[in-house]
């Protein structure tokens, strides 16, 4: 197999990179410090059609192919992992609706998600349920012509500003998905602050106290929540996180190459010291390997290949571990300067650690990957 970007994909990557370098990276430290993205960057992403970009043309979206989408999330992750996180959760909601939403849900919500008029967020985790999706305790009880929601969600990315939540809960004793709007009476959202990494991703905790939603807000049917809706959303999320992790690793490499050539010790740039070059060489090789695995996962996803699920999981596992290792080595190369604000590698280090936890921790990936046989390359 020869995996090579098309001219259109190369052009798109150049545009993504230019945008990230001019509109994202210069402000990433400020957003990290303030623990919030600027509303302006959200508007700019929407204006370029990069929110909901995976929504097919037949549903009112641009229908961006999966490889191009991977390039977009890599370049945004290279500039600011929190900005990439916005696309991730927004597109997880869009993907869930594309795959399992009713005709009415798709017609009403997808155009708004694509236009950026509505921001989506994915609400699965709870204080006692993270990787165990079937262990959620939030409930939906039938009440007349609708359902009453009670429970609690935690660690919800961009809960502080999202307008529409794809929420997973128990209904009739079965895992089920519902669309719940921010303005629903009985829904209270509290911000979560002082995170280790991706500090500008505006996490929140959600409290549902007798929130009544119409039956039309159910996505799929009772029992479809984990096996269908969650699975579709999480696969999209893993792919975005995988590519974004490559972006973090590439940013670490960029920073280290520049720093190693200007920082002098023992009368010469540290780039000329063998041990520093060894760290850089390992970083270069691992970044390329992770990128190729992400490209292959994107190609399989675009081809609707049944092997795409496991390839995406493997790509997320590799890319997140590569990002964490690259960030740790980047801090080491920078020495004391890598441990303070003002040098981006300290932020990369914190953000990379988060990549090993979200959308399925590295340990969950290890438990799952070994159980499946991969197709031959």
| 228 contacts: CB under 8 Å, gap ≥ 6 | 99, 100, 220
Query: Is a pLDDT exceeding 80 seen at residue 130?
Result: no
Residue 60, classified by CB atoms within 10 Å of its CB into exposed (0-12), middle (13-18) or buried (19+), is middle
Of 33-37, 126-130, 222-226, give the lowest mean pLDDT range. 222-226
Helix (H) or strand (E) holding 151: strand 146-156
CATH number for the domain whose boundaries are 226-369: 1.20.140.10
Q: Output the pLDDT for position 254.
A: 97
The SS3 assignment for 20 reads helix
What pLDDT was estimated at residue 375? 53
The stretch 36-59 carries a mean pLDDT of: 96
Paired residues of 170 in beta bridges: 139, 175
The percent of residues above 90 in pLDDT, for the chain, comes to 82
Max distance between CA atoms of the chain, in angstroms, equals 79
- What percent of the chain has pLDDT above 70? 98
Look at residue 372 and tell me whether its pLDDT is greater than 80. Answer: no
376 has a pLDDT exceeding 70: no
The hierarchical CATH code for the domain 7-118 is 1.10.540.10
Catalytic residues: 359
Name the residue ranges covered by the structural domains of the chain.
7-118, 121-223, 226-369
User: Tell me, what DSSP letter sits at residue 126?
Assistant: B
Query: C-alpha angle with apex 339: 333 to 342, nearest 5 degrees?
Result: 100
Tell me the C-alpha distance between 201 and 32, whole Å: 9
Tens of pLDDT, residue by residue over 1-14, are 567 899 999 999 99
Match domain 121-223 to its CATH number in 3.55.10.10, 2.40.110.10, 1.10.290.10, 2.60.40.10: 2.40.110.10
CB 42 within 8 A of CB 162: no
Has residue 373 got a pLDDT over 70? no
DSSP character at residue 361:
-
Tens digit of each residue's pLDDT (9 = 90 or more) over 187-243: 999 999 999 999 999 999 999 999 999 999 999 888 887 778 888 899 999 999 999
Distances (CA, A) of 198 to 34, 168, 193, 347, 354: 11, 23, 11, 8, 7
Whole-angstrom Cα distance, residue 267 to residue 245? Answer: 35
pTM, two decimals, is 0.94
The pLDDT value recorded for residue 374 is: 58
Q: How far is the C-alpha of 345 from the C-alpha of 327, rounded, in Å?
A: 7
Q: Which pLDDT tens digit goes with each residue over 335-349?
A: 999 999 889 999 999
């Amino acid at each position: 197999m020869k995996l090579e970007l098309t001219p259109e994909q190369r052009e798109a990557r150049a545009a993504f990179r230019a945008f990230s370098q001019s509109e994202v990276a210069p402000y990433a430290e400020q957003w990290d410090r303030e623990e919030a993205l600027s509303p302006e960057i959200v508007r700019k992403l929407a204006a370029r059609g990069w929110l909901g970009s995976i929504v097919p043309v037949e549903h009112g979206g641009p229908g961006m192919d999966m490889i191009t989408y991977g390039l977009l999330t890599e370049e945004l992750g290279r500039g600011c992992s929190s900005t990439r996180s916005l696309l991730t959760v927004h597109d997880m909601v869009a993907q869930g609706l594309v795959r399992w939403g009713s005709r009415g849900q798709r017609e009403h919500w997808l155009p708004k998600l694509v236009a950026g008029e509505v921001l989506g967020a994915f609400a699965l985790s709870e204080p006692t349920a993270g990787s165990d999706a079937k262990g959620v305790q939030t409930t939906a009880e039938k009440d007349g012509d609708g359902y009453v929601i009670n429970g609690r969600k935690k660690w919800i990315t961009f809960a502080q500003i999202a307008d529409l939540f794809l929420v997973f809960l128990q209904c009739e004793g079965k895992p089920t998905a519902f669309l719940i709007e921010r303005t629903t009476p009985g829904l209270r959202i509290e911000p979560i602050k002082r995170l280790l990494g991706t500090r500008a991703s505006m996490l929140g905790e959600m409290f549902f106290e007798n929130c009544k939603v119409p039956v039309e807000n159910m996505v799929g049917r009772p029992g479809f929540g984990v096996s269908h809706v969650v699975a579709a959303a999480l696969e999209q999320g893993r792919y975005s996180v995988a590519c974004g992790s490559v972006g973090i690793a590439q940013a670490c490499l960029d920073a280290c190459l520049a720093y190693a050539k200007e920082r002098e010790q023992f009368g010469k740039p540290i780039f000329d010291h063998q041990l520093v070059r060894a760290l850089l060489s390992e970083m270069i090789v691992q970044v390329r390997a992770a990128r190729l695995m992400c490209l292959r996962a994107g190609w399989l996803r675009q081809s609707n290949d049944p092997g795409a699920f496991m390839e995406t999981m493997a790509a997320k596992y590799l890319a997140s571990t590569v990002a964490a290792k690259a960030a740790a080595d980047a801090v080491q190369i920078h020495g004391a300067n890598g441990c303070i604000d003002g040098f981006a590698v300290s932020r990369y280090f914190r953000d990379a650690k988060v990549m090993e936890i979200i959308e399925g921790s590295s340990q969950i990936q290890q438990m799952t990957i070994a159980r499946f046989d991969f197709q031959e390359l």
